[in-house]
Structure 1
Amino acid sequence: MGKGFYISKAVAIVCVVAAVAATAIIIALSVVYSQEKSKNLEDPVATGEPVTTTPSTPKDPWQFYRLPDTLAPSSYNVTLWPRLTPNADGLYIFTGHSTVIFKCVKDTDLILIHSNKLNLTTFEGHLAKLTGLNGAPAPTLKTTWLEVPTQFLVIQVSSPLKAGNTYQLYTEFVGELADDLGGFYRSEYTEDGVKKVVATTQMQPTDARKAFPCFDEPAMKAVFHMTLIHPLDTVALSNGMNNEPINITMDGQKVKQTSFEPTEIMSTYLLAFVVSDFTYISSGPGAKVLIRIWARRKAIEEGQGDYALEKTGPILSFFENYYNSPYPLSKSDQIALPDFSAGAMENWGLITYRETALLYNPGVSSNGDKEWVATVIAHELAHMWFGNLVTTRWWNDLWLNEGFATYVSYLGADYAEPTWNMKDLIVLNEIIGVMGVDALASSHPLSSKEEDIQRPEQITQLFDSITYSKGAAVLRMLSEFITEAVFSQGLHTYLEEFKYKNTVYQDLWRHLQMAVDKAGIKLPHPLEEIMNRWILQMGLPVVTINTQTGAISQKHFLVDPDSVVDRPSEYNYEWFVPVTYIKTGAAEQQYWLVQKEATNKDMALGANDWLVANINMKGFYRVNYDDGNWERLLNKLNSQPKDIPVINRAQIIDDAFNLARARIVDVTLALRTTKFLDKEVEYMPWETTTRNLNYFYLMFDRSEVYGPMQAYIKKQVTPLFEHFRDITLNWTKIPDGHTDQYNQVNAISLACSTGVQGCRELTTKWFKEWMANPADNKINVNLKTTVYCNAIAAGGVEEWDFAWAMFKNATIASEAEKIMYALSCTRQPWLLNRYLEYCLDPDKIRKQDATATINYIADNAVGQPLAWDFIRAQWDHIFNDYGGGSMSFGRLISGVTERFSTEFDYNQLLQFKEDNADQLGSAATSFEQALERTKANINWVALNKKPVLDWFNSETSPAV
């Protein structure tokens, strides 16, 4: 799956700080990628059938959450009829019937098959029909019921099913086509004043059972024969190629019936089907693989699918070469949905997307939007092999599936857009952010024990930044130290052996070890031993290098050194670390640190030499140095910064700030790493700085530190602002480079927020010109988010209401998203409260966007307490009405509590957690992380407020 809550890159890179006199509103300097998808399942609904209650200690098979190993499905034949208009009760429903053919593996008198929120038809007093195949007799049904807590249809038979025999189970059912963004659900939009309804799906991880009874586990692969019945003016899509629809009459209605070619053998979570009145563009005749981009008719007519069509073919070809394996299907449909909980979903042959992840309009969308489309398409296409063709056996290894797709998506996007430096941007987009998460005592290992991941909510919690971004980081590190060519070769043999099957991560290590041995690469330990330390224990090391002696050591890095790590590790938080480094005048070298302490004489330096480790941040670790080397690095940055690779200039800043938070180095050392920025024009060091200074804003924006801090940032950013003003000929052209376009946004955002002369007047003028002529928005597409935000922060209700009207009228999703973010920038509390109320009205803010919008408001210093009060007051409604995929509770808690830094905040959070102990769902881990962060913030502020204030004062006071 594409990473859950996806904001466009245009919004993600905006570093907007809107300062308004003494009561300034600090809007987050950086809205970084959120890599979490959390989709809490709703409470089961009553079905009208007998229900048993699962005791605390399961005794019967149906009281466990996992399927027994007695039955194995081979194929399904499913017919579904979604109603795109409400019935007399105002409900949207679907009806259907399903036949599953399965083999009995072990004698059993029990059939367990998943079914959730389906009203099953009764046949002679039972909820299913059982038939024997190939001459096998079928026992009569003894009793059937729905076990709601574990989401099973339970069928007890009068005599055992016999191992080796084949049977088929038939069910008929009615389900609700709800707007909960999970299972078979509805998406609504308005076009030309007409409300339209789409019936679509999101099955991952455990929602196929909401569409029809099925063996809903990834190892239970089968072939699916799908048939959809749908209105005459609609088209139906599924994983297989659609056959020509036929017109039939059902229940007195004239409808279409579309059947599909059978799928390849695959997991239930990859099943997809859509009914809509969408249209498409496609690859030309003669293409090896038919590629179709589907979307709303107006979106296709406006050319919003053209870029996706242009890039899908090359990215697909790239992965065929990378895996040395042909794409196994005849077509690749990709469809943009108005309502979708994740960023995208890799359904085999029918990939579903948020509109912002597939559609691109050159006249309205930014370069960040374009990058987003390229990387998400690459992520999903990577899954066609890694995840779909070969699937991990159980969800405890989700990291391998999603971390891998995240890593290679940057390779695919780099192939499609070779001038963008995508292989470098993975550091900013994935690695730096997740290092902060993994430095918490409440983090978790990449790979869990299978027995620890049982319930749907436990599975859901795995869709987080550790799984996606740390997974990508450690696989990138592995690819670097064995080389990409060897990595690719290992993937090829892995895919060949396990195609159409299921695996565990050890299978991949075995194939990569074979490739390493064949290439003659020498490693200090077998590859599995090296990698197990990165995936079976949480956290990351900080590597400390003493350049006087060559001593090198490692230690578990915790951002709060006082936090208690209560998760044991058989490896005692020790890693095998591939330490790459350069030193004065020398080429890059690598040293394996395979114990806690060692000595590498090559790292001992002369008096004037310097050393930088973890070149281009290829390894997942932080680096600390002796005081002398830190000073020489600071001098080098201030005198000849380009002698240090640009990624490492960013890394030095990020490591220093995080080491300071962990009390390993002095906070003033971290601040000193930013002094060279008045000479820096590259994006990565500036972006890293804004993200780290964002923490200072969160902690100090309501204190006396704020003024001197603003003055210092103003001094540093003014040359950058002037640089971009000059190279864009006074803002009349767009910078040539991809990352230069991003850094122009940083320049304007920081300049406006700190009061650089002419900046706010510039953005306000552009916004006023748009207000005067709404049909002709001349604001540079890359600058829209920061212009909108600054103008709304500086304005009042007139600007806000204008932007709201533009948001409601926007026909391009990426444009709507930019405005949605900017609306949170107002300094008017009543407008922010109104906006919060809108978040629980799907007619105003789509359910898929509710979490993001509340978090945007919480990013605003004025909005944060409002958002916190709102969440507490509305939690019951949010939990019960916005579950099932429409809101990420974990991300919500993390965002709204980000500023917490007092004992009062901590006690409020603790009280809220206790008051809602039975309604936390997948947010349980986020509450623990929020409590840990808050306690760390309290300690950090107490320790650092005075030295930070003194340093900013010293840097901005006039020389005497």
Structure 2
Amino acid sequence: MGKGFYISKSVGVVAIILGAGALATIIALSVVYSQEKAKNNDNVLPTDGGSTKPPVTTPAPSNNPWDKYRLPKSLVPEIYHVTLWPRLTPDETNNLYIFTGNSTVEFKCAEVTDLILIHSNKLNYTKLENNHLARLTSVNGDKAPSITKSWLEPLTQYLVLQLDGKLSKDHQYQLFTEFTGELADDLGGFYRSEYWENGERKVVATTQMQPTDARKAFPCFDEPAMKAIFHITLIHDAGTVALSNGAEIRKESWAKKIPSYPTSTMIFKLMNVYIMSLGNVFSSVYFMMWVQVRIFARKPAIAAGQGDYALNITGPILKFFEKYYSSKYPLPKSDQIALPDFNAGAMENWGLITYRETALLYDEEFSSNSNKQRIATIIAHELAHMWFGNLVTLRWWNDLWLNEGFASYVEYLGADEAEPDWNVKDLIVLSDVHRVFAVDALASSHPLSSKEEDIQKPAQISELFDAISYSKGASVLRMLSDFLTEEVFTLGLQTYLERFAFKNTVYTDLWKHLQMAVTANGTKLPDTVHNIMNTWVLQMGFPVVTINTTTGVVSQEHFLLDPDSEVTTPSQFNYQWIVPIKWMKTGIIQTPEWLTEKSASGEDWVLANLNVVGYYRVNYDVNNWRKLLTALSTNHEAIPVINRAQLVDDAFNLARAKIIPTVLALDTTKYLSREREYMPWDSAIGNLDFFFLMFDRSEVYGPIQDYLREQVTYLFRYYKNMTDSWTKVPNGHMDQYNQVNAISLACRTGLEECQNLTMGWFTQWMHTEINPIHPNLRSTVYCNAIAAGGAAEWEFAWSKFKNATIAIEADKLRYALACTKQPWLLNRYLEYTLMPEMIRKQDATSTIVYIANNVIGQSLAWDFVRARWSYIFSEYGGGSFSFSNLINGVTERFSTEFEIQQLRQFKEDNAEVGFGSGTLAVDQSIERTIANMKWIAENKDTVLKWFNDQNKA
């Protein structure tokens, strides 16, 4: 699944899309991160079905199969025949949107049993023969055992069928059910999305099934290893088009039952349920090549050409992956659909990929350079999954990291194919490597791969969709590809995909095929691929490699942001890694090495982890650090641009870990007045953000502002001259990014010229209704103008947000509205996040975090979340919130004894309510807060003196 406001990814088996009125509609399958609405656990839907056993609310310990979260191995699904009929208007009895359906699943008995377990969640069943919830028949005509008892197990989410006899081994049976479900707005399972067009409300029926919500759409064997053939029939409004993973094979009128409802039938084979999609659409764009590519969206979006960019780059990216995988795209079509309401960034449903609108639709008038890059990388990410994840699927969720980490790595390769001038492959260092270092340096981190038995419950599965699985997975696979060479890496990948096509694997299967490629190519490694990579996969964290250029000794140790934290997770490798090292000496690239002793003395400076291809930090002896600082101040371009970003990031984090002095890290920023490249500046700003977070409520804040204003002024004026006083757009992709950095930091640190510029643009927009601000600059200009203004500016932006028809523009305004310095406006904005008519559920989490990022809004957001946690968790469930993002976001600034007490009390007070996918995030926030408290106590006086000294110089 594609990255959203950070959301996890995975592969689903069935996607569905349906729409009403004049809208483009879709039903898709995606990832859901925590529990659904509590009210949906009740039997609130109109149905004549039910359970012959009352729901168990507090089950006693039991070894019954239905009390376990994993399916037994006795039954193997082969074919599903599923018919679904969503109602796009509420029923008169309960005023609920519902769907009805029936399913016949044909399965094989692999082990003799008298019990059928099939996943089901929040579905009500029509009672059939003998008042039971299903009907069982034998495929070969023999008499099948009769169902003696049938009931629903809400905790483990099963439909349970007890039989009066045994199913015969290797015989095939069919299970038929009729059911009703709520077409809720919870963004999970079979759900509804809504939007307005020409004053009319439009309703879309769509799906999001990954990882464990296919069972909310129809009863199914909802595990990734349970692949099957699907026959999907959708009953839908006349004038709409039904979509699913496979091509439509038949369309007919349903006149015998309801005259105005046609049916559409699709067949799709050998996929697991979490990548299934279904839906109805009206608007589309077609592009014909060796495979049919179509883009679907709301009619006005298609008419405005907002699908054209996605359409134009999908073909080249597909062709790239065909070559990269040495495998033809396995489907006859590639449909991509933009949904008004969608929790993730995107979902890789096979043949029918679903997206949030901002992840697929591009409009040159409103979309920034970064919006365009996000679209390219997310499309590449989802298309990569068509092979890696869909064609070949991991056996169980404990190996999710390989699926999502791989797509998160090769998305940069696919985007680079589509936009070769961007040099986008370098940005993985900022977006993934440096980003995940911050999480993986905590004692509460976790390994990439978990034990299968430790990942059982849906909440445990959802918790895996985090930065470790995505970004660390991408980082270590990039490192693997580098030390093997791309030729060897792709050779192993190609034989792996060929061997396991339409099958399931475990991650070590890939290591075996990569080892075969290593052997065939004669590549020299210090150990097997399996042994090297297991040191990175089976233990959490990463090393700091220390190079002593005086003694020539190279060593490693487990890097912890708080060296005093206690690591309770054992490691079979004793937190030692087999480390590949690329390095350079005084600007000359040296022969790559593996971690070993080597001589590195003399007058030259040494720099390791060239281009940051390794997943580790680097420390040096004091003399070498001084030489590197001298190189930065005298000839910074002698150091590669990626490594200039690395030096800053490593230094600041080594200082936080008490490995080097904080002033040494601060010294790496003294050359910035001469730096013009994006990556070092972005690295510096990201690390100095920590100082803002720790000190923006103290007397240190002013000197920090003064110092950074002086440094960024040179960059600000550089871009002013480059753009002829802001009338042009820089040519380079990275320059466009760095122009935003220049304006953002200059305004943030109080550069009057910048503040006048942004306020002038915004005022002109308010007075003329003509927006003079380039899309690249809108987020930062809107934010700074609203921060400097009052209620009038906020109300103007809110009006523009509510009337925005372009999702990307709405997102820019939604972010900027959180920048106001007026507490009453921030409190009102917080209340809006729990009103779907004001802020869409998909955007609630990120909006609260935006407010918390504002120093004035932080305590307001924290109080808001604490006071409403039970409601947020039960009403919004997992479909609308990524709870790990929410908890981390509202506690990021915590650094006092009072705040740590509040955080611990929050954990205790809500233990029964739960935290879903944010369970680990609570512990990480506590650990991070303790580390922040200690860091401030140890560094505040030193930091204040350093900034004061620089400002006097």
Partner of 2:543: 541
1:24-173 → structure 2 map (5 Å cutoff): 38-43=33-38, 45-47=41-43, 48-49=50-51, 50=53, 51-53=55-57, 55=59, 57-88=61-92, 89-123=94-128, 124-173=130-179
Within 2, Cα distance between the matches of 1:244 and 1:791?
56
TM-score (norm 2): 0.95
Partner of 1:648: 643
Within 2, Cα distance between the matches of 1:289 and 1:56?
54
Q: CA deviation at 1:142?
A: 1.1
TM-score (norm 1): 0.95
Partner of 2:182: 176
Q: Is the CA contact (8 Å cut-off) linking 2:108 and 2:172 kept in structure 1?
A: yes
The secondary structure found in structure 2 opposite 1:100 is strand
Partner of 2:493: 491
Q: Is the CA contact (8 Å cut-off) linking 2:851 and 2:861 kept in structure 1?
A: yes
Partner of 1:445: 447
Within 1, Cα distance between the matches of 2:686 and 2:397?
32
Q: Is the CA contact (8 Å cut-off) linking 1:136 and 1:167 kept in structure 2?
A: no
Pairing 1:838–2:823 present: no
- 1:389 pairs with 381, 385, 391, which one? 391
Within 1, Cα distance between the matches of 2:777 and 2:32?
28
| CA distances 1:226-246 after superposition (whole Å, capped 9, x unpaired) | 000011132211001124532
Within 2, Cα distance between the matches of 1:504 and 1:921?
26
Give, as a single letter, the amino acid of the residue that structure 1 aligns with 2:601.
L
Q: Is the CA contact (8 Å cut-off) linking 1:73 and 1:102 kept in structure 2?
A: yes
Give, as a single letter, the amino acid of the residue that structure 2 aligns with 1:254.
S
Within 2, Cα distance between the matches of 1:928 and 1:702?
24
Within 2, Cα distance between the matches of 1:6 and 1:563?
26
Within 2, Cα distance between the matches of 1:253 and 1:834?
48
Partner of 2:621: 626
Q: Is the CA contact (8 Å cut-off) linking 1:40 and 1:888 kept in structure 2?
A: no
Deviates more, 1:579-588 or 1:318-327: 579-588
Pairing 1:380–2:378 present: no
Give, as a single letter, the amino acid of the residue that structure 2 aligns with 1:259.
T
Q: CA deviation at 1:549?
A: 1.2
The secondary structure found in structure 1 opposite 2:443 is coil
Q: CA deviation at 1:58?
A: 3.1
Partner of 1:924: 919
Partner of 1:818: 812
Cα–Cα, structure 1 residues 142 and 244, in superposed 2: closer, same or farther, change >3 Å? closer
Q: Is the CA contact (8 Å cut-off) linking 1:752 and 1:759 kept in structure 2?
A: yes
Within 2, Cα distance between the matches of 1:937 and 1:908?
15
Within 1, Cα distance between the matches of 2:755 and 2:147?
75
Pairing 1:219–2:215 present: no
Partner of 2:234: 228
Q: Is the CA contact (8 Å cut-off) linking 1:445 and 1:535 kept in structure 2?
A: yes
Q: CA deviation at 1:587?
A: 2.2
Partner of 1:13: none
Partner of 2:534: 532
Q: CA deviation at 1:785?
A: 0.5
Partner of 2:696: 701
Cα–Cα, structure 1 residues 103 and 244, in superposed 2: closer, same or farther, change >3 Å? closer
Within 2, Cα distance between the matches of 1:299 and 1:332?
19
Partner of 1:273: 278
Deviates more, 1:813-822 or 1:765-774: 765-774
Q: Is the CA contact (8 Å cut-off) linking 2:587 and 2:639 kept in structure 1?
A: no
Q: What do you get for the CA RMSD once the two structures are aligned?
A: 1.2
Partner of 2:822: 828
| CA distances 1:596-625 after superposition (whole Å, capped 9, x unpaired) | xx5212xx221x210110001000000000
- 2:402 pairs with 400, 403, 427, which one? 400
1:435-584 → structure 2 map (5 Å cutoff): 435-584=437-586
Q: CA deviation at 1:53?
A: 4.8
Partner of 2:864: 870
Q: Is the CA contact (8 Å cut-off) linking 1:550 and 1:600 kept in structure 2?
A: yes
1:871-890 → structure 2 map (5 Å cutoff): 871-890=865-884
Give, as a single letter, the amino acid of the residue that structure 2 aligns with 1:856.
Y
Q: Is the CA contact (8 Å cut-off) linking 1:4 and 1:37 kept in structure 2?
A: no
Q: CA deviation at 1:590?
A: 1.6
Pairing 1:612–2:607 present: yes
| CA distances 1:661-683 after superposition (whole Å, capped 9, x unpaired) | 00111000000000110000000
The secondary structure found in structure 1 opposite 2:494 is helix
Q: Is the CA contact (8 Å cut-off) linking 1:187 and 1:199 kept in structure 2?
A: yes
Partner of 1:363: 365
Q: Is the CA contact (8 Å cut-off) linking 2:286 and 2:295 kept in structure 1?
A: yes
- 1:599 pairs with 597, 600, 624, which one? 597
Query: Identity, % of aligned pairs?
Result: 62
Within 2, Cα distance between the matches of 1:119 and 1:250?
26
Pairing 1:850–2:878 present: no
Within 2, Cα distance between the matches of 1:148 and 1:457?
14
Cα–Cα, structure 1 residues 251 and 797, in superposed 2: closer, same or farther, change >3 Å? farther
Deviates more, 1:883-892 or 1:295-304: 883-892
| CA distances 1:736-767 after superposition (whole Å, capped 9, x unpaired) | 00010000000001111112241111111111
1:771-782 → structure 2 map (5 Å cutoff): 771-774=766-769, 776-782=770-776
- 1:713 pairs with 708, 716, 719, which one? 708
Q: Is the CA contact (8 Å cut-off) linking 1:3 and 1:37 kept in structure 2?
A: no
Partner of 2:748: 753
Q: CA deviation at 1:42?
A: 4.2
Q: CA deviation at 1:890?
A: 1.4
Give, as a single letter, the amino acid of the residue that structure 2 aligns with 1:255.
Y
Within 2, Cα distance between the matches of 1:837 and 1:181?
20
Q: CA deviation at 1:247?
A: 2.3
The secondary structure found in structure 2 opposite 1:274 is strand
Q: Is the CA contact (8 Å cut-off) linking 1:136 and 1:165 kept in structure 2?
A: no
Q: CA deviation at 1:6?
A: 5.4
Within 2, Cα distance between the matches of 1:612 and 1:428?
19
Partner of 1:208: 214
Within 2, Cα distance between the matches of 1:37 and 1:779?
37
Partner of 2:264: 258
Within 1, Cα distance between the matches of 2:259 and 2:590?
72
Q: Is the CA contact (8 Å cut-off) linking 1:745 and 1:782 kept in structure 2?
A: yes
Partner of 2:27: none
Give, as a single letter, the amino acid of the residue that structure 1 aligns with 2:766.
M
| CA distances 1:406-463 after superposition (whole Å, capped 9, x unpaired) | 0000000001100111110111111101001000000000000000000000000000
Partner of 2:897: 903
| CA distances 1:685-742 after superposition (whole Å, capped 9, x unpaired) | 0001111011000000011101110000011001000100001011010000001000
| CA distances 1:891-930 after superposition (whole Å, capped 9, x unpaired) | 1110000010001000000001000001222221110000
Within 1, Cα distance between the matches of 2:306 and 2:373?
14
Q: Is the CA contact (8 Å cut-off) linking 1:539 and 1:557 kept in structure 2?
A: yes
| CA distances 1:813-850 after superposition (whole Å, capped 9, x unpaired) | 11100000000000000000000000000000000000
Give, as a single letter, the amino acid of the residue that structure 2 aligns with 1:282.
Y
Within 2, Cα distance between the matches of 1:713 and 1:631?
22
Q: CA deviation at 1:884?
A: 2.9
Within 2, Cα distance between the matches of 1:822 and 1:316?
36
- 1:768 pairs with 740, 763, 768, which one? 763
